[in-house]
């Protein structure tokens, strides 16, 4: 919404990918992509009812170096190493509004670079210690904003509206930076993020059983202890004064006040969870406590559907 209108965005994407294998574990992948977005103004009043749909067209290229030598010991139980290093460029090349092609004075483009490293170590039998380091940054005329907090595929997500956002960045798209358990979405935000996750995955019944387990629920049931630490920010680094975290805006009548605050940008979380397969879905339940500005927060509960981190 722009404050006066609401619209729905319908997105259609087309991809063409090529992969060059260097070995059984290492490959290079290139993807050409086209994205068409249709902006449909909601009929909230007579003015918006008459506004025709708008369209934007983006083209892009993504390159990925992928390594994966992991082997599976069971559901969500891996052994080995895998990583992905990637770079992506997207460019807005055409936009239509009121049946007219728009010509912009500035370019709308987006660069993204990042990496995701994961390593899985066997402690004993199928008891696994999993670790992950992920980082990414976006830049250009219309960068990507990362909202840190929560988990992937959270069934009942909650968004934190108290963390300030720097709208001067002219963000084109948004995405989540997970996992950061112990918080709702948007405990930190910005065009860059880094996060470290560690988990102990203990498959209770599979670990103690000497014979194959026929029940998928029991076979994949796991107890997990985990810890997360990371941050998202704008500027050169998390402690840069350009980071929107350090500025609060207060509107009081005719006055518009900006207040600089001191706050630790790095947050952390720790907790316990359980996972198992229910009706073919891998269901995760977690309870986690966050550490924000050196204070332990109240627990946050998560129910989600996803594998690994």
Tally the residues of the chain. 309
% of residues, the chain, pLDDT over 70: 94
Domain count, the chain: 1
Helix, coil or strand: residue 259: strand
Q: Decide if 200 is inside a domain.
A: yes
Q: According to the model, what pLDDT value does residue 261 have?
A: 79
285-305: pLDDT as tens digits: 999 999 999 999 999 999 999
Domain containing residue 33: CATH number? 2.40.160.50
**Confidence check: pLDDT of 270 > 70:** yes
**Binning pLDDT at 50, 70 and 90, where does residue 248 land?**
confident
Residue 121 to residues 67, 77, 80, Cα–Cα distance (Å): 17, 10, 7
Contact, 238 vs 146, CB < 8 A?
no
Q: Decide if 169 is inside a domain.
A: yes
Q: According to the model, what pLDDT value does residue 167 have?
A: 86
**Confidence check: pLDDT of 102 > 50:** yes
Phi, psi dihedrals of residue 216, rounded to the nearest 5° = -65, -35
Q: Decide if 2 is inside a domain.
A: no
Rounded-to-integer distance, Cα 159 and Cα 148, Å: 10
Look up the pTM and report it. 0.89
Q: According to the model, what pLDDT value does residue 2 have?
A: 46
Rounded-to-integer distance, Cα 284 and Cα 307, Å: 9
Between 260 and 194, where is the model more confident? 194
Contact, 288 vs 268, CB < 8 A?
no
Rounded-to-integer distance, Cα 77 and Cα 91, Å: 39
**Binning pLDDT at 50, 70 and 90, where does residue 39 land?**
confident
**Confidence check: pLDDT of 116 > 90:** yes
Q: Decide if 1 is inside a domain.
A: no
Contact, 27 vs 52, CB < 8 A?
no
Q: Are strands 173-177 and 144-148 parallel, antiparallel or unpaired?
A: parallel
Q: According to the model, what pLDDT value does residue 54 have?
A: 86
The whole domain housing 163 covers 7-305
Q: Decide if 274 is inside a domain.
A: yes
Q: According to the model, what pLDDT value does residue 1 have?
A: 40
């Amino acid at each position: 919404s722009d404050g006066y209108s609401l619209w729905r965005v319908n997105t259609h994407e087309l991809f063409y990918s090529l992969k060059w294998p260097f070995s059984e574990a290492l490959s290079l992948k290139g993807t050409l992509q086209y994205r068409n977005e249709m902006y449909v103004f909601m009929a909230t009043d007579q003015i918006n009812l008459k506004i025709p749909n708008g369209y934007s067209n983006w083209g892009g290229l993504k390159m990925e170096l992928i390594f994966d030598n992991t082997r599976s010991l069971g559901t969500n139980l891996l052994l080995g190493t895998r990583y992905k290093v990637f770079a992506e460029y997207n460019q807005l090349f055409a936009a239509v509004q009121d049946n007219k092609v728009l010509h912009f004075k500035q370019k709308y483009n987006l660069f993204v670079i990042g990496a995701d490293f994961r390593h899985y170590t066997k402690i004993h039998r199928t008891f696994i210690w999993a670790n992950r380091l992920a980082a990414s940054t976006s830049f250009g005329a219309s960068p990507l904003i990362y909202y840190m907090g929560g988990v992937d595929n959270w069934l009942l997500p909650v968004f934190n509206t108290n963390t300030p956002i720097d709208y001067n960045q002219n963000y084109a798209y948004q995405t989540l930076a997970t996992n950061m358990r112990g918080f709702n979405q948007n405990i930190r935000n910005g065009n860059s993020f880094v996060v470290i996750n560690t988990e102990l995955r203990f498959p209770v019944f599979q670990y103690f059983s000497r014979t194959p387990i026929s029940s998928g629920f029991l076979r994949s049931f796991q107890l997990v202890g985990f810890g997360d630490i990371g941050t998202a920010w704008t500027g050169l680094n998390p402690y840069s004064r350009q980071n929107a975290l350090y500025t609060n805006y207060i509107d009081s009548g005719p006055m518009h006040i900006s207040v600089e605050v001191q706050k630790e940008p790095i947050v952390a979380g720790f907790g316990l969870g359980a996972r198992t397969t229910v009706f073919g879905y891998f269901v995760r339940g977690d309870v986690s406590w966050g550490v924000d500005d050196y204070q332990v927060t109240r627990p946050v509960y998560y129910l989600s559907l996803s594998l690994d981190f």
